[in-house]
Chains A and B, each alone.
Chain A
């Protein structure tokens, strides 16, 4: 009995375990080949560079847990960045401008959510449409012009760089901890899992799946806006093409983190590990002196290898247990 319990524990965390193993393996290679990788400055830069992906991935985890997907986050990110810049330039204090970016994100997320949950259009269709429409709409309006001449208080909220980076990291940590805890212990969090596992069963249990899906997409929009705001204040100008490819990065991180694309299985810890793994591969390859031309091929290969290894193990175990049943 105890053994089966342990099996279950291992089973439900197997992706996390293989991710930790992969990260440790990379860390070991780096420790031998390029010890300079482990400096405080480098870790801080890595965290800051991956903060937007991390925050958006929190929302994306929820979306994928409910069995949906949102590929419009990159375009939302661009619009929210520009919105934060424009509001700041109009004289709004920087924190308020970031908040406005959050609201803009929430509005776009709510549009996605309403179409998916209440008009019942498949999420990939809705977000494919909003991805293209929002990105092209922004390009049309701004014509690619950057938002420049921001007030001096925009960058780093007008504080020191260290303080502001601390704020950003604290916000991200709070969001991750809050969402991770909420998913496990709040009724709303359990409703997300229930909706993703079986919408029908969830309804019979008194949950309204449509409301859950709507809320999750709107929340993802708000998180995207928050990420855009926190990212924008690292600089003193806002480009109009921010967030290119962000959707692929976040979805890859969430899926590599073990959240099932069919919904209902996965969690925040896996996503954090997924973001960490994908975030260190690129810089690690640079540290090892591998030419940028081969980097993309290696990244794709590593992702495929990681998931394939996982799948092979599951296969082996299932076949093993089948054999055991038969005997």
Chain B
């Protein structure tokens, strides 16, 4: 007999936690202890509730996935379902003019319908859950993108709704807490205190056995997928209220985070084992890790590395503990433990060696000045300036960082550089929240979602933190100054004018954008269209294709454009990786009559500019942008910029103009063969 179903004859330790959650509890305590020691304001009641607030959406998904995985299934579509429900809500509220209550009902209905579709395909047709939900994973988000055409962003919701995601009961308790509590209670009763719950374990343990025992397997399985769709739509409403916006990129990547939490909590991926408590432990060990790393000003990439390590460790340890009984019944390998240990050690060492040499190699290639990073230490009374890019690991923002660090050294401040590592639009809010908790002196944000982040920036200002925006602006009352390197209007118009100049005002062209739902790019496209309509009636925009910020995808899309639209005379790439991708495609096609222009980094395009494939690249000096942002923030924290100032001295940049509440860096710059070699970023 493999793993016995929990029975009362087992020791109390196992009864209390049948899945080895002890390991996890220990990790949780360890995390808390470490971050209490190293993080600023980590061990406070306020921060505790912040962590809970950030866990609500993910928690709802993880709770819904627990019974799904207990029955031996999986639901990859929950994140996409969130996007669909959010967009349905937004469309019903704004476009159809329904009251918010009715729109919420409609969104929940959409969630139920999505869950029912999954359930129908899985139980009605007997297709494996992973295949069904892999399909609906694409389809749900696809429908959301189709409805909004990627761009529509519903915001300005009624106050009552926004309170649901951002308000507090009695000043401390997040409003959405009861929703999570209710969901926890409901799932705990369903799984651990009801007959249906017992049958779910039976189904996961052995579907055939369950059927012989008289359980209606299909109905039970259908129920959990249906509930999963419903829970995803509830999460979507909370998410919309939390961010104050509904868009087709809602919940990107949440399915994997939720699955990680569930698996970390000891739920068996093959079914039959798992608890609500385990899932909660898994959930909080992830969110506390994220929160703690931010408060300790450690790079957020560590979250991924550490989560991975904890995930494997928790399960290996859990397995060692649950040992001989389970081990003998399971598949035994004809291999001794000592051999196994040696083999594992060798492989781990080899992997570390590869990783280590990679790190060393990459570091060795970097110019010596850039390697030193002053971020991290927070001792003394030096002002702390926290700066956030839209995405970490994007070469554009990496070059801004170089300038930011330079200014931090000159002005003698501490710089924290952190931001989202993925495409999830809620992440920026979470980082700002933790900076407020940490009480930094100034925050500078490159805004991804204007509607979403403005409320949290206002909160920061209320707490006396100076707030700047750079690269992309928030609502004007949510920040002190905007470091204006170029307006969307300026970028859109400059690109269109450049295209018109090359084509002589007449011809057809196509755009390769970033992700279809990217806010900035969609703004630029709107201004490009406006300029075309107003000034260039003979210039025709043929098609807009996504590159998802992937050079290889931009390459393939451009190849297709060139064949589908042989008349296209110009390709405009409006994301940093899109221009080199498009340029390589044009070069390999051998077409000499197609121009490539766009918005990108000079270093990525230098070769193509010299080879005459790319005619011009529009951008500003990114290093100066980072420099000016930190310089302004440092002056602001020292109160060195009086209200109403029209200019100030910004170090090596000389005198910089201040226009109202905007600090002006200059106009977008056009790089071409004549000048591109003078720039290195």
Binding site for B on A (CB under 8 A): 34, 36, 39, 41-42, 45, 49, 79, 82-83, 86-87, 89-90, 104, 107-108, 110-111, 114-115, 117-122, 124-126, 128-137, 139-148, 161, 199-200, 203, 208-210, 231, 234-237, 239-242, 244-245, 248, 251-252, 255, 260-262, 283, 286-287, 289, 291-301, 303-304, 307-308, 311-312, 314-315
Contacts and interface: CB of A to CB of B under 8 A. Distances in A.
A234 B270 CA distance: 41
A82 B362 contact: yes
17 contacts: A36-B563, A49-B555, A107-B350, A114-B347, A136-B305, A136-B421, A137-B305, A137-B355, A145-B398, A148-B604, A237-B580, A239-B550, A252-B134, A286-B557, A298-B142, A303-B135, A303-B138
B408 interface: no
Contacts of B392: 139, 143-144
A136 B347 contact: no
A41 B590 CA distance: 12
B121 interface: yes
Interface string B107-125: 0000000000000010001
Interface string B541-574: 0011110111110011101110110000000000
B362 A141 contact: yes
B344 A83 contact: no
Contacts of B564: 34, 36, 286-287, 289
A248 B316 CA distance: 26
B57 interface: no
A97 to B, nearest CB: 12
Given A144-B395, A303-B134, A244 B550 contact: yes
Contacts of A146: 395, 603-604
B361 A90 contact: yes
Contacts of B268: 122
A111 B340 CA distance: 13
Would you call the interface of chain B mostly helix, strand, loop, or mixed?
helix
Nearest to A72: B308
A255 B135 CA distance: 11
A304 B139 contact: yes
Interface stretch (B92-100, B329-337, B501-509, B644-652): B329-337
B259 A128 contact: yes
Contact of B137 (A86, A208, A300): A300
Interface of B: 121, 125-128, 130-132, 134-143, 145-146, 149-150, 256, 259-260, 263, 268-270, 299, 301-305, 307-309, 311-312, 315-316, 319, 330-331, 333-335, 340, 343-344, 347-348, 350-351, 353-355, 358-359, 361-363, 365-366, 392-395, 397-398, 401, 421, 516, 543-546, 548-552, 555-557, 559-561, 563-564, 577, 580, 584, 588, 603-604, 607
Given A144-B398, A286-B543, 7 more contacts: A45-B556, A107-B351, A118-B343, A136-B305, A234-B584, A245-B548, A294-B146
Nearest to B308: A133
B398 A143 contact: yes
Nearest to B316: A119
Nearest to B389: A144
Given A122-B269, A125-B312, A292 B359 contact: no
Contacts of A89: 365
Contact of B340 (A118, A203, A237): A118
A130 B308 contact: yes
A210 B333 contact: yes
A221 to B, nearest CB: 10
B136 to A, nearest CB: 6
B343 A86 contact: no
Contact of A241 (B549, B559, B561, B563): B549
Given A293-B149, A300-B142, A301-B139, A144 B394 contact: yes
Contacts of A255: 130-131, 134
Contact of A129 (B312, B347, B604): B312
A65 to B, nearest CB: 15
Nearest to B299: A140
Nearest to B304: A136
Contacts of B421: 136, 139
A240 B305 CA distance: 17
A84 to B, nearest CB: 11
Given A118-B333, A293-B150, A308 B559 contact: no
Given A45-B559, A137-B355, A255-B134, A121 B394 contact: no
Nearest to A144: B393
A38 to B, nearest CB: 11
B395 A132 contact: no
A41 B563 contact: yes
B551 A239 contact: yes
A147 B395 CA distance: 11
Given A142-B393, A145-B395, A49 B347 contact: no
Nearest to A309: B125
Most buried by A among B319, B563, B603, B604: B563
Contact of B135 (A120, A287, A300): A300
B359 A144 contact: no
Contacts of B552: 49, 231, 239, 242
A136 B398 contact: no
A293 B125 contact: no
Given A83-B358, A292-B545, A308-B121, A140 B302 contact: yes
B572 to A, nearest CB: 15
A234 B559 CA distance: 13
A120 B603 CA distance: 46
Contacts of A304: 121, 132, 135-136, 139
A150 B577 CA distance: 17
A137 B138 contact: no
Contacts of B516: 292-293
A125 B308 CA distance: 9
B619 to A, nearest CB: 16
Given A118-B343, A132-B308, A145 B366 contact: yes
A300 B138 contact: yes
A292 B525 CA distance: 15
B393 A239 contact: no
Given A107-B351, A125-B263, A296-B141, A235 B331 contact: no
A208 B334 CA distance: 8
A244 B309 contact: no
B130 A297 contact: no
Contacts of A137: 301, 304-305, 355
Given A36-B563, A89-B365, A297-B142, A129 B549 contact: no
Contacts of A141: 358-359, 362-363
B563 A39 contact: yes
B354 A104 contact: yes
Contacts of B140: 300
A236 to B, nearest CB: 6
Nearest to A279: B556
A304 B334 CA distance: 42
B14 to A, nearest CB: 20
Contacts of A118: 333, 335, 340, 343-344
A151 B582 CA distance: 21
A237 B604 contact: yes
A137 B556 CA distance: 27
A309 B292 CA distance: 49
